[in-house]
Amino acid sequence: MSFETYLRRWRFWPRPPMSTFEQYAPRPLRNDRVPASPALSDPVPRIAIVTPSFNQCNYLGATVASVLAQNYPALSYHVQDAASQDGTVELLESYGPNLSWRSEPDTGQANAINTGFRLAAADCDIMAYLNSDDTLLPGTLSYIAHVFRSRPDIDIVYGQRIFIDGDGMEIGRAVFPTHDARALNYIGYVPQETMFWRRRVWDRIGPIDESFRFVLDWDFMLRAQEAGFQMVRLPRFLGCFRIHAEQKTSAMMDVGLEEMRLLRARHLGHIPTRSETYRAVVPFLARQFAYHWLHRLRILKY
């Protein structure tokens, strides 16, 4: 049973804003409102990003463009495609030397990510993966590099998220409170498209667990947290999560629910009861609800 099913049994509790995708009518995404990033000094941290892809040509172009438009001077960007037959190869060829890519069969998203990092992350300082239907906001990479350089105590970071539809129009936002390590044991709430980590995290706990198809990012975060790495939510919108009919999140819900159950059992040592889960996550969800509406009312700005 999903956590949202638990919540629906408590009639006073509304659906959490972080999982309410269509919050208002589609409107243009205003990239001009993104704050400027601090200037970087040499040597610039080296960032490696991998995009796993399979028959996502309709959205992949926007994903690639959002990365290349960062104009980050020390970027290694690789697309690992699963032998798509929808025009993806032709699209990737059109970028010439601006990115590296391969198109070959794989065993799933996690396998593609791991393969991509083996090919593109040999000498990087910072790592991330961006799915083939999501996008980065302008200035994200420079901002991330600045944070990691100025905060050596931080190992993993993530930020606020914007929901976009299939046409790239904004339809909602998810504003998160500060990181809650306890809640993360029960719900995978971190917006993956905004997450970046230091290479030392990967060297110690990586690679991505290829036995998972749905909760692979949540598992990676939990393993990092259990290893003692410091995770921080940053006060800035960093990426966009695309909502569309073909996405894995919708098509694999049954698989996802089972994997969430297995993951909780693995990291908690038992399958939590409904009341245990409720006690662990409701304080976080209450804070998320407050942060969300403080932002909607323009009291809290990012």
For 169-179, the pLDDT digits (tens) are 999 999 999 99
pLDDT level of residue 6 (50, 70, 90 thresholds): very low
Please check whether residue 209 lies inside any domain of the structure. yes
Give the range of the structural domain holding residue 252, as residue numbers without chain letter. Answer: 3-26+45-296
Mean pLDDT computed over every residue of the chain: 91
Please check whether residue 281 lies inside any domain of the structure. yes
Please check whether residue 180 lies inside any domain of the structure. yes
Q: CB-based contacts of 188: which residues, under 8 Å, 6+ apart? A: 215, 217, 218, 221, 260, 263
Number of domains in the chain: 1
**More confident: 167 or 245:** 167
Pairing mode, strands 135-136 and 126-129: unpaired
- Report the CATH number at residue 265: 3.90.550.10
| Length of the chain, in residues | 302
Please check whether residue 31 lies inside any domain of the structure. no
Please check whether residue 32 lies inside any domain of the structure. no
pLDDT at position 149, please? 95
Residue 185 CA, chain-centre distance (Å), reads 17
Q: Is the pTM of this model over 0.85?
A: yes
Give the DSSP per-residue string, 220-284.
HHHHHHHTT--EEEEEEEEEEEE--TT-HHHHTHHHHHHHHHHHHHHHHSS---HHHHHHHHHHH
Please check whether residue 40 lies inside any domain of the structure. no
Half-sphere exposure of residue 139: CA atoms within 13 angstroms, side-chain side: 15
Q: CB-based contacts of 220: which residues, under 8 Å, 6+ apart? A: 205, 206, 208, 209
Please check whether residue 35 lies inside any domain of the structure. no
Q: What are phi and psi of 167, to 5 degrees?
A: -95, 5
